[in-house]
Structures are given as C-alpha cells and as structure tokens.
C-alpha cells in the first residue's frame, strides 16, 4: 500500500528537500503550510511553487494568527531581525512554533489516515531553537501516540526527520541529486514580497554557507 505523509512545507530550502526525498520514495505527499502572521507572504508563494514542482502533491495552507501571541521577531514588527549571529535562543524563535505546526499536521494526518508526518528540522545548523532537537521530536511522537484516535487504535503516526543530522551542505547536495530547483525556495527571514533575500540575516547566512560548502552555485535571488 502506498505510504501517505503530511509534509510540513515552509517554502524554504530544508522542507523542499524533505518533500523531494519523500516524493522520490513514492510516498503520497500532502504538503502543509501555515499562514501564521509571518513577516512576508513570499514564503507562502514559495511553498506553493515547491509543492507544484512535485505533481500529484496536495497542498494546503492553514491560517493561524500567531501574531496574537507575539514574542518573536518573525511575528512582531516591533522586534528587528538580527543581522549578526547571537548567543543562546535568538529573537527569531517563534514560541512553540514547531509544536503548533506538528499538532495541526497531526490533526490533518488523522483525517487523511496518513502514516507519517515529515518535518525538515535540523539539529546541526539549528540556530538554537529548542524545538529542532531530536529529544523534542521523540517527545512529540510519544505524545501523539496518546493524543489521537489512530494512536489509541494501535497505529501511531510517526514523525520523520530525514535531514535532522545533515549539514546544510549535505542537504543541498542531496536535494540537487533529487532534482530540487532551489531557485523556487525562500529562506530569508525578511524577504521582499517577490521573494528576494536580504543576504544578511541568520537564515541567509546559513544558506549561503551551505551552497559554498556544497560547491554548487547559490540559486538564491538576492535583493
């Protein structure tokens, strides 16, 4: 039977690679994005472009007003996005974001009777976010097994993290092998409406280094 998976798809480089990995393995993919009050719409447009590049993938965007709770440079215009690496957990951390995204993915996975949820968290270049670590993913999977009808009935939904231990360069090499067109993706924390990257934020810096280390041309469109 064809495996079915909800794939968290942000429009960025990491999740595009995760989607490509699942798709090439023959998984029926359900791409899920969130309109959560992020600084720019460019990443939602990028997510739609990425999902379209894999024919047969159903793409859904769920609205969620995380701006209401505030607390992050990514959802609060009053907090600036830093342009230098910072110590500890940075202000771009959105409180409990991956928990919220995985929870909604869990709800959709239950409705779809999907087997897995795939998320492009990365514990190597992880930017100091607590909810990108393997310990968090394992705890979420345990919680999900108790939370859902599927889990209670003995078919717990698995949380799959195919790039959690890869470097940014390895992720890019893997994506290139699988035919990912990274010019479709937007990683920048403060991209322009048309998806041009600032080139100076933490996310741009990690991405640029990744392309350099992978030895492939940087497909990013800079402002």
User: Binding segment for a second copy among 14-22, 139-147, 190-198, 201-209 (CB under 8 A)?
Assistant: 139-147
What is the contact mask toward a second copy in residues 92 to 111, using x (rule: CB under 8 A)?
Answer: -xxxxxxxx-xxx-xxx-xx
Q: Is 131 in the site for a second copy (CB under 8 A)?
A: yes
Q: Among residues 4 and 97, whose Cβ is nearest to a second copy?
A: 97
Q: How many residues bind a second copy (CB under 8 A)?
A: 45
Is residue 28 part of the contact set for a second copy (CB under 8 A)? no
Spatial contact of 54 and 19, defined as CB atoms under 8 Å apart: yes
**Least gap, CB of 64 to a second copy (angstroms):** 5
- Work out the angle at residue 123's Cα, subtended by the Cα atoms of residues 181 and 17, and round it to the nearest 5 degrees: 15
Q: Which of 101, 166, 86 is nearest to 131 (CA)?
A: 101
Kindly tell me which residue out of 135, 154, 215, 217 binds a second copy, with binding defined by CB under 8 A.
135
Which one among 55, 56, 63, 215 touches a second copy, defined by CB under 8 A? 63
* Residue 197 φ/ψ, nearest 5 degrees: -85, 150
- Shortest distance in whole angstroms from residue 117 CB to a second copy: 11
- The CA R_g of the chain, rounded to the nearest whole Å, is 17
Q: According to CB under 8 A, which residues from 175 to 214 bind a second copy?
A: none
């Amino acid at each position: 039977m064809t495996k079915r998976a909800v794939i968290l798809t942000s429009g960025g480089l990491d999740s595009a690679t995760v989607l490509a990995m699942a798709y090439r393995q023959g998984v029926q993919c359900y791409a899920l994005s969130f309109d959560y009050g992020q600084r720019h719409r460019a990443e939602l447009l990028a997510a739609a472009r990425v999902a379209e590049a894999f024919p047969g993938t159903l793409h859904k965007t769920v609205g969620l007003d995380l701006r209401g709770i505030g607390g992050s440079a990514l959802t609060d215009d009053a907090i600036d996005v830093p342009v230098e690496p910072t110590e500890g957990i940075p202000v771009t951390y959105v409180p409990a974001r991956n928990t919220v995204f995985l929870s909604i993915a869990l709800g959709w996975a239950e409705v779809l009777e999907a087997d897995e949820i795939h998320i492009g968290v990365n514990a190597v270049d992880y930017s100091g976010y607590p909810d990108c670590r393997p310990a968090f993913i394992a705890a979420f999977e345990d919680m999900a097994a108790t939370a859902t009808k599927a889990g209670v009935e003995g078919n717990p939904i698995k949380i799959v993290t195919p790039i959690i231990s890869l470097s940014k360069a390895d992720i890019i090499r893997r994506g290139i092998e699988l035919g990912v067109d990274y010019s479709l993706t937007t990683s920048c924390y403060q991209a322009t409406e048309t998806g041009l990257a600032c080139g100076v934020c933490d996310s741009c810096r990690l991405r640029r280094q990744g392309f350099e280390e992978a030895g492939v041309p940087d497909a990013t469109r800079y402002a």
